[in-house]
Structure 1
Amino acid sequence: MARVVVDVMLKPEILDPAGQAVAGALPRLGVTDVASVRIGKRVEIEFTGEPDLAKARQLADALLANPVIEDFTVRVEEAGRAAPAGAIDAISGLDPVEPDVPAVVAPRRLDPGTPLVPARPVEAAAPAGAAAPADGAAAADAVPPAAAAEGEGGDGQ
């Protein structure tokens, strides 16, 4: 399959807050020789036959980029071209250039039934339009059953 790559970047005169945030964080990582950072997006379009650059440009102009604030480039990527050095496959966690070398350490996987927070029962809320308590107390003054059992009621104890 033929792959067309569309790179979309904000025009140089447009403020890039995401790029500025990254540039501001670099000194905290010990990187002090970067003048600026601009962030864009890469869109890959795979054609079943020959790549159609005219159609890809039309897609980029109408759908992928905002021509008022963004510029884009369209190019054909050669088949079998290796990913750029340092890229990481998000699914395997391996460097696609050197697949025998783990690029990241995968986090420990949880069993599907493992809850992320301890589960505790939730009291059913009164349906909308339910009558107020018989003693005339406001619903906000009501004490949850668990608190009442522990002696934490609103009666001043």
Structure 2
Amino acid sequence: MEITPVCEEILKFLPFLLWLLIFEPQQEEILSAAMFIAIGFATFENICYLAENGAQNFYFLFLRGIAARAMHLCGGIAAGYGIGFVFQRLWLRVIGTIGILGFCIVFHGIYNLLVTAGGTWQKCGYLFPVICIMLVYIIRLLRNHLQRNP
């Protein structure tokens, strides 16, 4: 449980950084690439979980699938926005990238701790990434609205 968030986030972050360094994309492409890599990783993780543990409880698998995807998507959104900001400034690239990776690892670790706690904390853990995505979406809508109507 302690090392899993570190390994998963590094394995998810490396292809993203490799793509970023090789193709030098435009600002608009960075967020979508990070989100696609995160969703692909979450899908792979859920398939591995199914192969290892079977499909005995459909309700649990469905809930875990949605929550795990949302958690990885949150990490992808954070990485996309963060790297898009950090890579605009040469002096901030290295330490900013390490900071973003650290944030994603801590977020994943909090999710894992809540989900394995059981009871009410487990339910909070399943809702945690979904609520975070909704907050990011609402903030983005408000920001777009304020930019159009100053």
TM-score by length of 1: 0.22
Structure ranking higher on relative contact order (CA contacts 8 Å, 6+ apart): 2
TM-score by length of 2: 0.23
Which has the larger Rg?
A: 1
Higher fraction of helix: 2
